[in-house]
Amino acid sequence: MKEYKEGAVQSVDRSLMILEELARYKNGCGVTTLANALGLHKSTTHRLLMSLLNRGYVKQDLETNNYCLGTKLLMLAGSLLESMDLRNIARPYIQDLANKTQEIVHLAVLDGEEAVYIDKVESVRANTIRIYSQIGKRVPLHCTGVGKVLLCDMDFNRVKTLLKEEDMTYYTPNTITNYEAFETELKKIREQGYGFDEIEHEEGIRCVAAPIYDRYGKVIASVSIAGPTIYVTKERVPELVQQITETTKQISYQLGHFK
């Protein structure tokens, strides 16, 4: 039997082992072959296969009774590949935006109840105040520019399931902690096509953010320009809005959104 790692949930670990083993067989394989390869009891293997079959991660050939990987895995892989493609497509545009504005630029997507940075271009300023962010960092939705923009075209009932008022943590005196006020903010973003983090998540940091659309007109990511308020001043906001919306429009176009 393959090594079983301490601390893992046994049924989950074994299910993943089955998926990994099935990937080796172009035409699938039977329960006995699979059980022998993994060192599992045939009954255990069959039980796990039934769970995977019911969820669409495994399918069974009705003629041979062999099991093989199911189409549900394509959906998961497609979601991952879409994120990877998005990053590759967006990279030259956000790099150009960072060069033009001399500020930090983030690319973010929605992941569960948070936004996550999937790319970042540092400021070219030698003396900029450091912002503590990195690729993979998760940030709240209610008080960040990227987070608000990711929710702007979403049905408000769904927004409520993702963001409960009791989870709207206070970070600064400007943080919106009331859901009704937050909904008003989202409506404004939806109308104007961009949003702000007006010193709501970190003291002294202002962000301008705009959405990226896929070919179906759905918001799939957001881009933000972030920097200290001594650089990202209120006077610069109109200029930054123009630059970031032009950037996200170009990225969206590359993804098939032509509106």
| pLDDT above 80 (res 133) | no
Task: Return the beta strands (E) in the chain as ranges.
Answer: 58-60, 67-69, 104-111, 114-121, 138-139, 195-198, 205-213, 219-228
| Count of Cβ atoms closer than 10 Å to residue 70 Cβ | 18
Domain 79-254: give its CATH code.
Answer: 3.30.450.40
Domain ranges of the chain: 10-70, 79-254
Residues of the chain above pLDDT 70, percent: 91
pTM above 0.95, yes or no: no
Q: Is 148 exposed, middle or buried (0-12, 13-18, 19+ CB in 10 A)?
A: buried
| pLDDT above 50 (res 2) | no
Of 3 and 116, more confident: 116
The mean predicted confidence, pLDDT, of the chain is 89
**Comparing 37-41, 73-77, 178-182, 206-210, which segment has the lowest mean pLDDT?**
73-77
CATH class (in words) of the domain with range 10-70: mainly alpha
> Residue range 143-157: average pLDDT?
94
| pLDDT above 90 (res 229) | yes
DSSP state of 129: P
Q: Distance between CA atoms of 218 and 157, rounded to whole angstroms?
A: 17
